[in-house]
Amino acid sequence: MTFSELNLIEPLLQALQEEGYTTPTPIQEQAIPPVLNGDDLLGCAQTGTGKTAAFSLPLLQRLHEAGPAHPAKAIRALILTPTRELALQIGDSIKSYGRHTKIKYTVVFGGVGQVPQVEQIRRGVDIVVATPGRLLDLMNQGRLSLKHIETFILDEADRMLDMGFIHDVRKVIAQIPSNRQTLLFSATMPQEIQKLSASILRDPVYVEVTPVSSTAEKIAQKVFFVEKTYKRALLKHLLQGDEIQRALVFSRTKHGADRIAKELSKAGISAQSIHGDKAQSTRVKALTQFKNNELKALVATDIAARGIDVDDLTHVINVDLPNEPETYVHRIGRTGRAGAEGIALSLCDDTELPYLRDIEKLTKQIIPVEEEQPFHAEYSKLPLAGGKATDKLARKASGGAGSNGQNRGPRGGGGPGGRRPDQRQGASQNSGRRPDQRQGSGNKPSGNRGGSR
């Protein structure tokens, strides 16, 4: 299928062509028609599946076809997202896809002065992309009104819940007209999100793509057994080689991220850290440097990295294994996009062996151990996927089944209540570049496509 077959208007098709996108991803193929039709939608999809284009393309088309706002300068669409980085990324997508329309937008988030944001709203915008805190601040100041909202999009709903924003979300929803179109996207569907979706969606179409456990299949994975005290030394050893051009490095804590970035810099490896305690301007600068290949390593915590989409990212390195296996899959899913090669390296000490077992159980893969490294630790017993203990010889004999797509788990099934369109689950076999799934050579500068604000 091509984008023209989805009945998108010529201004959007032209923008997609200029961006080099030809083939919709599964979620775009499934979500765009019902959203264009005005239906509510419940989407179960994670970062990297193309969901930003799945809602922004039909939103732009509906606003374009409806003509100027009534009353003039009224905000007609609200996109609520949990992090500043993701809000900026969505804003960039709207700017790119809507360049041949007259639709205006602004991005509203905290950590920076509100004056420029308020001025843009005063001049009139059709779409506001916002994080909950700053949005509520502007509403309480009377700087922004939601009484003319026609479309409400809640993105990364499960992350909103994790970050404690769910009450703020409900406050925002209470100020939006009930007669509206609502789209809700979430990577997972915990009970609280199911309750929220049931309360705000009306007879929604339900779409689901690529269950979390199967997204790791296309990424080459290795685990390095190493004592905790030698982890940063091993990381420096890996990054000083020529094999890695650029890597997104994950730390479990903010302090750990800062310490890692500092030690890498001392070793002559260009690195910066990003996390929630960093000023917004500092985080944006670091991400821009990383996108422009000015940094070899960007060290991030999970919340700070949510929504990061970097062209041609070949390596993700887990200095700390997460205690939730789904988080591991989200992390490594930032590489290997759109069929491009992706490599995930994890440093595992003895206290993290249960985490590794849970990851293998979720992904139904055995991650091969890399012993040819200067800090290898001999862990004679390791619980593997399925809960059985085995020695490392059995693990080596597996040949890393998971890394080449063998030993795959079942594809995802149904989800919470909602109408299903005809759909194909899992990764599409279609060729062509796809929005939010950019591919490249791994050592080609990508540039920061976002405009100044």
Cα first-last separation, the chain: 35
For 206-231, give the DSSP string.
Answer: EEE-S-GGGTTTTSEEEEEE--GGGH
pLDDT of residue 167: 93
Exposure class string for 41-79: b at 16+ Cβ within 10 A, else e: bbbbbbbbbbbbbbbbbbbbbbbbeeeebeeeebbbbbb
Structure tokens at 192: 């609280």
Contact call for residues 202 and 40 (beta carbons, < 8 A): yes
pLDDT of residue 10: 96
Contact call for residues 398 and 244 (beta carbons, < 8 A): no
CA distance 250 to 273: 10
What structural domains does the chain harbor?
3-211 (3.40.50.300), 213-404 (3.40.50.300)
Nearest CA among 29, 127, 111 for reference residue 73: 127
Beta strands in 163-263 (DSSP E): 181-186, 205-208, 220-225, 247-250
The 10s digit of each residue's pLDDT in 224-242 is 999 999 999 999 999 998 8
The helix/strand/coil state of 62 is helix
Contact call for residues 337 and 437 (beta carbons, < 8 A): yes
Contact call for residues 393 and 371 (beta carbons, < 8 A): no
Number of H helices, E strands in the chain: 16, 15
Q: Residue 413, exposed/middle/buried by CB under 10 A (0-12, 13-18, 19+)?
A: exposed
The 10s digit of each residue's pLDDT in 146-183 is 999 999 999 999 889 878 899 999 999 999 999 999 99
pLDDT of residue 449: 34
pLDDT of residue 428: 36
Which parts of the chain register pLDDT below 50? 381, 383-415, 422-434, 437-453
Contact call for residues 239 and 309 (beta carbons, < 8 A): no
pLDDT of residue 411: 28
> Which phi and psi angles does 74 have, rounded to 5°?
-75, 145
The 10s digit of each residue's pLDDT in 62-103 is 999 999 888 889 999 999 999 888 898 899 899 999 999 999
Element (H, E) at 85: helix 84-97
pLDDT of residue 125: 96
State how beta strands 247-250 and 220-225 pair. Answer: unpaired
pLDDT of residue 136: 96
In sequence order, what are the residues at sequence separation of 6 or more whose Cβ sits closer than 8 angstroms to the Cβ of residue 87?
79, 81, 107, 108, 109, 129, 130, 131
CA distance 127 to 76: 6
